[in-house]
Amino acid sequence: MNADETTDTDVRLEVYRFFAERGRPPVPAEVAENLGTVQSVVEASLRRLADDHVLVLAPGTPYIWMANPLSALPTPYKVEIAGRAWFGNCIWDALGVVAMFGGDGTVKTWCPDCGRRLHAEVADNHVVSGHGVVHFAVPAAQWWDDIGFN
């Protein structure tokens, strides 16, 4: 692993650790402080991670919009786990938040068509309540063409 790859692993792990603990992504200065490095190194790493589709930066900024499956912005996909809450970028990512944090949690959303509340509850890595179907609008090969839409 070269120096950039080592830095990128450290930055990625710190972004997720911070996001899990605080419910929001860190800004580059916070990552730099926690890793004992400088902001410019973190910003360069974040750009590489974004180029590799590991995370998504807010357009024109070094600030994290998505550290998939987590969203920095509120979305219609709220994830509740043990009294805490995060947002997923879509239903796939919201369930991904549950999976990433151990396989117990509830996703709350609304049907885009009728506005009725929907939920999916997962316990011990199994869906135990909830119903509905998931629609993928865009073929897999095009998911990253407009990741905000997806």
Partner 1 sequence: MLLFRSEEHVRNWYRRQGMSLGAILTLEQQWELARIWYADRMSPDWRRRTPEEAEAVFGGLGLTGDFWRLTPAPG
User: Quick check: 132 binds partner 1 (CB under 8 A)?
Assistant: yes
Tokens found for residue 145? 């063409």
Q: Does 141 bind partner 1 (CB under 8 A)?
A: yes
Closest CA to 97 of 115, 110, 78, 112: 78
Residues 7-66 close enough to bind partner 1 by CB under 8 A: 9, 12-13, 16-17, 20, 52-54
Cα–Cα distance measured from residue 103 to residue 106, given in angstroms and rounded to the nearest whole number: 10
10 Å Cβ neighbour count for 74? 9
How many Cβ atoms from other residues are within 10 Å of residue 34's Cβ?
Answer: 15
Q: 15: which DSSP letter? A: H
Q: Which residue, 60 or 115, is less far from partner 1 as judged by CB? A: 115
Contact set for partner 1, span 102-131 (CB under 8 A): 103, 107, 109, 111-114, 116, 118, 120, 122, 125-127, 130-131
**H or E, element range at 22:** helix 3-22
Q: Is 85 helix (H, G, I), strand (E, B) or coil?
A: strand
Q: Which of 68, 72, 86, 87 binds partner 1 (CB under 8 A)?
A: 68
Residue 5 Cβ vs partner 1, minimum distance, rounded to whole Å: 10
Closest distance to partner 1 from the beta carbon of 132 (Å): 5
Question: Site residues (CB under 8 A) for partner 1?
Answer: 9, 12-13, 16-17, 20, 52-54, 68-69, 77, 90-100, 103, 107, 109, 111-114, 116, 118, 120, 122, 125-127, 130-141, 150
